[in-house]
Amino acid sequence: MIDRKESGGSTLNEKEIAEIRRRYRQDKNNITHIRGCYVNEEGEILSDFDQSLGLMAQEESDKFLAVLKRTLSGTLGKNLLNIEFETQQVVSGEEHQLLMRLRDSALKDEEAVQTFFQRVTQNLSMEGNYLILLAHDTYDVFFRSKDGERQDDASSMVYSYILCSICPIKMTKPALRYCVPENEFSSCTIDRLVSAPELGFVFPAFDDRMANLYGALYYTKNVADSREQLIDALFKAHPPMPAEEQKETFQEVLGEALGEECSYQVVESVRDQLCGMIQEHKESKVEEPLAISKGQVREVLQNCGVSESGMTVFEEKFDEEFGADTELSPRNLVDLKQIQLKTPNVRIQVDPECGDLVETRVIDGVKYILIRAEEGVEVNGVSVKIP
């Protein structure tokens, strides 16, 4: 097996993630068994298990695979975060060594498995009970020629990895059910159902279609909270700022830096240019995720007519909040679905295609937000006329 040894960080892209996602079918994966434990909300392990996937009924194994597959869902940079290890961690780091023991033993190292379970439960607080699932898979990576053609009969390497899913357990409510054979109604008792994963990860990362021991792919369902304590416990690494926090921080930096220059027109122009970058990147079909630097944001501000002093202050505040060399995903900075205007008393949502219908104006010393309206104006669902 070939492992990527160079440092320099993971450059995982959506195409590579999709390639691994497709493995979570009966005829594609090499997962032989599932390790797991059931944990209560106090962090106590109530039970653990080692269940053979091959001995399960197909319906059950399909459901297991569907749950694990969800750990590879969502948007790269929002739900799926690249975790990077330092060289020293790979050489002698305790956290990295534990992950390697889990992988290299195909989850048969009992001490490593139990140590991992304890590490999760001691550093994760969840409302209600939850399930920790661990799976090991080996993938004979098919060869792809320079022209992009897939050659299934030519394997370039074997990618060995572990996948972890942390799933909340939801309690069903008592209900009344109808039993067809008995032709009668009876009560349905409370049951425990496994929900979609809230958190999880893949190690090592599948980077450039090979194993990258310097990286892991971390999943969080909640883009506003990546659970930094858990990331620190499992990887001893600094996670990227959560997507929602990136957006809020960028908005604050923009507003504070531009001051009086921060008009509706400038903010809307910044948004339009970032959305344009996203669309252009999508159409170009470039596999690497889109990320922009501080310098590129400066060019955007310059195109919006922001003064030199405003751009300088923006750069200073950007360095303070994100770091001088940090690159951000434009998808984390703007809302692609709507433009939102808000005052202390009013909230207005505008279709992004219709941003030019809005303007700000001062009339007789009073500040107004004006929206051009023709036909089809409704108030509380009632069509109204503007005299």
Quick: pLDDT tens for 341-377. 888 888 888 888 888 888 889 999 999 888 888 888 8
Where does the chain show beta strands of DSSP type E?
A: 3-4, 33-39, 45-52, 80-84, 130-144, 150-171, 175-179, 184-188, 192-194, 199-203, 205-207, 210-212, 215-220, 339-342, 347-350, 358-363, 366-371, 378-379, 382-383
Overall average pLDDT of the 71-88 stretch: 91
Which of 364-372's residues contact partners 24+ apart within 8 Å by CB, and which partners? Answer: 369/264, 369/341, 369/343
pLDDT of residue 96: 96
What is the reported pLDDT for 242? Answer: 87
pLDDT for the residue numbered 200: 97
Overall average pLDDT of the 106-131 stretch: 95
**What's the pLDDT at 7?**
35
Calpha distance 21→163 (Å, rounded): 11
CB 112 within 8 A of CB 120: no
Other Cβ atoms within 10 Å of 72 Cβ, number: 23
Per-residue pLDDT, averaged over 206-221, amounts to 93
Environment class of 180 (CB within 10 Å of its CB; exposed 0-12, middle 13-18, buried 19+) = exposed
**Range scoring the smallest mean pLDDT among 99-103, 244-248, 382-386:** 382-386
For residue 150, the model assigns a pLDDT of: 59
The answer to whether residue 152 scores a pLDDT higher than 70 is no
CA-wise closest residue to 339 among 243, 282, 277, 272: 272
pLDDT of residue 3: 41
In this prediction, residue 375 carries a pLDDT of: 80
**pLDDT (mean) for 77-95:** 92
Q: What is the residue-averaged pLDDT of the chain?
A: 88
pLDDT of residue 149: 61
pLDDT, residue 9, reads: 45
As a whole number of Å, the end-to-end CA separation of the chain is 76
Residue 307 CA to residue 184 CA, distance in Å, equals 77
Q: Which of 39-43, 117-121, 126-130, 174-178 has the lowest mean pLDDT?
A: 174-178
Reported as a single tens digit per residue, the pLDDT across 14-59 is: 889 999 999 999 888 999 999 999 999 899 999 999 999 888 888 9
- Ranking 131-135, 186-190, 225-229 by mean pLDDT, the lowest is 186-190
Tell me what the mean pLDDT of segment 208-216 comes to: 92
How many of the other CB atoms lie within 10 Å of CB of 191?
10
- Please give the pLDDT value at position 1: 34
The whole-model pTM stands at 0.81
Contacts 24+ apart (CB under 8 A), 204-208: 204/3, 204/99, 204/103, 204/161, 205/10, 205/12, 205/82, 205/83, 206/12, 206/16, 206/17, 206/19, 206/20, 206/159, 206/161, 207/4, 207/10, 207/11, 207/12, 207/16, 208/4, 208/11, 208/16
pLDDT at 336: 85
pLDDT class of 93 with cuts at 50, 70, 90: very high
Q: What percent of the chain has pLDDT over 90?
A: 55
